[in-house]
């Protein structure tokens, strides 16, 4: 039988207490150094006691957007947030430390604010499964080990767009960061992952309504980009629907206010009532199945308007006009919120597109330099001859490397996964190539150069597949709206796949060299995948499918693309 929840939980709780490993505020201060903490920082609750609520707002606003600030907005209770010690001067607040350089170690995390989804995606602890493990997992989340691992991961996060402070890329921890958080476990699998912050609602703290934030982890830069694109498209569609509802409600209010009269004939009254009721029903449908408070309140008001009768069953046009105004006010509020969120999403989108675009262009240019290097290494270089001294060879190697210009460390971008992994593999192979040149080994140098070229090709296929997934999403929207023909969408996907397949199948950089099986096998599998994709798309284009058939084809095609985990292929390369 599985251990009971009470038994397992009590043992873990006792162990945590005995080791003083629960992440209480006091434990986190002690871990940082209590005297140092009180000398350098102050809680916002203490600021409120000393200076008042208005000063709290001013101090928090004065704290510049940074990892230090964003982390607290996500994982700290608003009154437990901390700021560096400060002084209030005329017209400004001066902090004793630069917030952009601060560690997260002194921050007072509230474990209940760590989402369970983030625990799983970041691997903050081993999640217990089975009956009776809820309390156990909650306690593991509350441990100092878990909180310190979260801080360590976030200290490795670099902002992709400083002004917005919503998109972060995870990097390798420095030795200084590692020494700050002595936690167990390997975090290398998170490198290149993306953290995207979003607003999930509001909360009331001390009588003040403040926003509540959450964060989502994405394994690759492209998966984060797709999610932002999907969300932005959703906001655009909802904004268009709300704008239509506003126009309809304004028209309905105008009809009731200007054209409905008690003295008019009954037939004319009924015609106006019928027209207005239809408008209200269509507006109600736009607001249906929503949990947003503004839309819920507007829906309740519009629900009453479907009858235009008061509680006594009487037609009450003026009461109806007031309710239309109330509904309009709430729909306008929701639309304003959506436009604000849409602007944030647009910045997130541009930050990710810029990072990925820089990497894509860098890899394209790098592939050209590898082809040039292949011509250099494929020529009759004297350093590969046996009758020269090591000193002569060493002198020639530097000149050859200068001509090749393929050191991966010079590549811009390459921060997001799987490109970060690709850069690691390129650097490793470049090191092997340099060693092979100093050894005078033509075979080893050719092996490393061809491997580097194949890594770049894997990245190109990955980028195309990710682009196709976005095209599929946008294609499904177009099919539902009837704005594009099914054959046109499929033909465009086929055209992109064919262009990449041709580039993928171009002559090898060193045709005489036979690559090792560790690279040849995944390369051949992807090659066949590209060919199968083109055959399938060609088949469906010729069938000229209906919009319904095309939607199912696109969904199946997306599932097929998801079978190719190119990030995993790159990680497994020797």
Do 406 and 340 lie in one domain? The reply is no
Q: What is the Cα–Cα distance from 137 to 262, expressed in whole angstroms?
A: 66
Confirm if 170 and 157 have CB atoms less than 8 A apart.
yes
Q: Domain holding 310: CATH number?
A: 1.20.120
As a whole number of angstroms, the distance between CA 351 and CA 413 comes to: 12
Same domain, 425 and 527: yes
Its sign, for the CA torsion 113, 114, 116, 117, is: positive
Query: Would 372 be classed as within a structural domain?
Result: no
**CB-based burial label for 319 (10 Å; 0-12, 13-18, 19+):** middle
CA 298 to mean position of chain CA atoms: 32
Structural domain contains residue 355: no
Within a domain: 359: no
For the CA atoms of 255, 259, 262, 268, the dihedral, rounded to the nearest 10 degrees, stands at -90
Residues 253 and 205 in one domain: no
As a whole number of angstroms, the distance between CA 156 and CA 174 comes to: 8
3-state DSSP helix/strand/coil % of the chain, to nearest 5: 65, 10, 25
The number of helix segments (H) and strand segments (E) in the chain equals 21, 8
> What is the 8-class DSSP label of residue 170?
E
| Number of domains composing the chain | 3
Examine the fold and report which residue of 344, 364, 395 is the final residue of a domain before the chain moves on: 344
Counting every residue written for the chain, the total comes to: 574
Do 477 and 563 lie in one domain? The reply is yes
**Same domain assignment for residues 168 and 240:** no
* Beta-bridge partner residues of 203: 210
- Token pair 């006594």: residue: 312
Start-to-end CA span in the chain (Å) = 43
Q: Residue 25: inside a domain, yes or no?
A: yes
**Token output for 193:** 């992952």
- pLDDT tens per residue across all 574 residues of the chain: 344 445 555 665 566 555 547 888 999 999 999 999 999 999 999 999 999 888 999 999 999 988 999 999 999 999 899 999 999 998 899 999 998 899 999 999 999 999 999 999 999 988 878 776 778 788 888 899 999 999 999 999 999 877 778 999 999 998 899 899 988 878 888 999 999 998 887 777 766 778 889 999 999 999 999 999 988 888 888 888 888 888 888 887 787 777 777 777 777 777 877 777 777 777 777 777 666 777 777 777 777 666 655 554 556 667 777 878 888 888 888 888 777 777 888 889 999 999 999 999 999 999 999 999 999 998 888 898 888 888 889 889 999 999 999 999 988 889 999 999 999 999 999 999 999 999 999 999 999 999 999 999 999 889 988 988 898 888 888 888 777 788 888 888 888 888 777 777 766 788 888 888 898 898 888 888 888 888 888 888 888 888 888 888 888 888 888 888 888 999 999 8
Q: Which domain holds residue 334?
A: 230-344
Whether 545 and 415 share a structural domain: yes
Based on the domain organization, do 288 and 139 belong to the same domain? Answer: no
Q: Give the tokens for residue 206.
A: 């001390």
- 260, two tokens: 């409905």
Q: Are residues 235 and 212 in the same domain?
A: no
- Reported as a single tens digit per residue, the pLDDT across 17-44 is 555 478 889 999 999 999 999 999 999 9
Question: What are the Cα distances from residue 385, in Å, to 372, 388, 393?
Answer: 21, 6, 9
What is the C-alpha to C-alpha distance for residues 231 and 473, in angstroms, rounded to an integer? 12
Q: What sign has the CA pseudo-torsion 57, 63, 66, 67?
A: negative
Establish if 444 belongs to a structural domain: yes
Q: Which residues are CB-neighbours of 214 under 8 A, at least 6 positions away?
A: 74, 115, 197, 198, 199, 200
Same domain, 178 and 48: yes
205 backbone dihedrals φ, ψ, rounded to 5°: -130, 115
> Do residues 155 and 296 share a domain?
no
Cα-Cα-Cα-Cα dihedral sign, residues 238, 239, 240, 245: positive
474/444 same-domain check: yes
Contact criterion met (CB below 8 Å) for 497 and 541 = no
pLDDT, position 507: 60
- Please report whether residue 235 resides in a domain: yes
Residue 6 lies in a domain: no
Report if residue 364 sits inside a domain.
no
Question: ω into residue 506 within 30 of 0, thus cis?
Answer: no
- In a shared domain, residues 551 and 482: yes
Coil, helix or strand at residue 228: helix
**Final residue of a structural domain among 218, 248, 266:** 218
Given 291, 317, 344, the domain boundary residue is 344
Q: Tokens 């409905």, residue?
A: 260
- Please state, in angstroms and rounded to a whole number, the distance separating the CA atoms of residues 295 and 198: 20
Q: Across the strands, what pairs with 214? A: 198
- Identify the CA nearest to 149 among candidates 175, 170, 178, 172: 178
């Amino acid at each position: 039988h599985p251990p009971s929840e009470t038994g397992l939980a009590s043992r873990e709780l006792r162990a945590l207490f005995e080791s003083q490993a629960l992440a209480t505020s006091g434990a986190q201060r002690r871990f940082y150094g209590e005297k140092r903490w009180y000398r350098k920082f102050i809680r916002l609750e203490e600021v409120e006691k000393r200076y008042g609520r208005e000063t709290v707002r001013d101090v928090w606003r004065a704290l510049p957007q940074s990892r230090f600030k964003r982390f607290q907005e996500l994982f700290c209770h608003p009154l437990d947030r901390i700021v560096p010690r400060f002084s209030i001067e005329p017209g400004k607040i001066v902090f004793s430390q630069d917030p952009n350089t601060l560690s997260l170690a002194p921050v007072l995390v509230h474990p209940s604010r760590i989402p369970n989804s983030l625990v799983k995606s970041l691997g903050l602890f081993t999640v217990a499964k089975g009956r009776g493990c809820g309390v156990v997992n909650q306690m593991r989340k509350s441990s100092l080990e878990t909180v310190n691992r979260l801080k360590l991961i976030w200290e490795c996060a670099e902002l992709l767009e400083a002004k917005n402070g919503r998109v972060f890329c995870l990097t390798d921890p420095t030795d200084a960061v590692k020494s700050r958080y002595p936690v167990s476990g390997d975090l290398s699998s998170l490198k290149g992952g993306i953290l995207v912050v979003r607003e999930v609602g509001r909360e009331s703290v001390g009588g003040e309504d403040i926003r509540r934030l959450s964060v989502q982890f994405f394994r690759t830069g492209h998966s984060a980009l797709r999610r932002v694109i999907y969300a932005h498209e959703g906001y655009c569609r909802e904004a268009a629907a709300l704008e239509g509802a506003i126009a309809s409600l304004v028209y309905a209010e105008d009809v009731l206010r200007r054209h409905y009269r008690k003295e008019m004939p009954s037939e004319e009254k009924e015609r106006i009532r019928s027209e207005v009721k239809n408008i209200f029903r269509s507006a109600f449908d736009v607001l249906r199945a929503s949990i947003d408070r503004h839309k819920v309140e507007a829906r309740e008001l519009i629900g009453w308007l479907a009858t235009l009768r008061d509680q006594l069953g009487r037609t009450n046009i003026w009461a109806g006009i007031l309710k239309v105004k109330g509904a309009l006010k709430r729909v306008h509020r929701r639309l304003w919120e959506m436009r604000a969120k849409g602007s944030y999403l647009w910045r997130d989108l541009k930050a990710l597109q810029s990072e990925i675009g820089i990497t894509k262009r860098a890899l394209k240019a790098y592939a050209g330099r590898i082809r040039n290097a292949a011509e250099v290494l494929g020529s009759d270089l004297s350093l590969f001859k046996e009758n020269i001294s090591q000193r002569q060879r060493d002198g020639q190697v530097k000149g050859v490397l200068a001509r090749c210009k393929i050191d991966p460390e010079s590549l811009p971008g390459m921060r997001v996964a799987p490109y970060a992994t690709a850069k690691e593999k390129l650097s490793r192979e470049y090191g092997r190539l340099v060693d092979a040149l100093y050894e005078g080994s033509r075979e080893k140098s050719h092996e490393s150069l061809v491997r580097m070229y194949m890594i770049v090709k894997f990245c190109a296929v990955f980028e195309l597949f990710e682009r196709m997934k976005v095209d599929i999403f946008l294609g499904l929207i177009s099919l539902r709206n009837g704005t594009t023909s099914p054959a046109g969408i499929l033909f465009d996907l086929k055209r992109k796949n064919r262009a990449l397949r041709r580039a993928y199948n171009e002559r090898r950089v060193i045709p005489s060299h036979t690559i090792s099986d560790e690279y040849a096998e995944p390369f051949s599998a992807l090659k066949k995948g590209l060919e199968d994709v083109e055959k399938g798309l060609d088949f469906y284009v010729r069938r000229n499918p209906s919009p319904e058939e095309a939607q199912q084809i696109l969904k199946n095609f997306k599932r097929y693309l998801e079978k190719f985990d190119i990030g995993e292929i790159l990680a497994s390369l020797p």
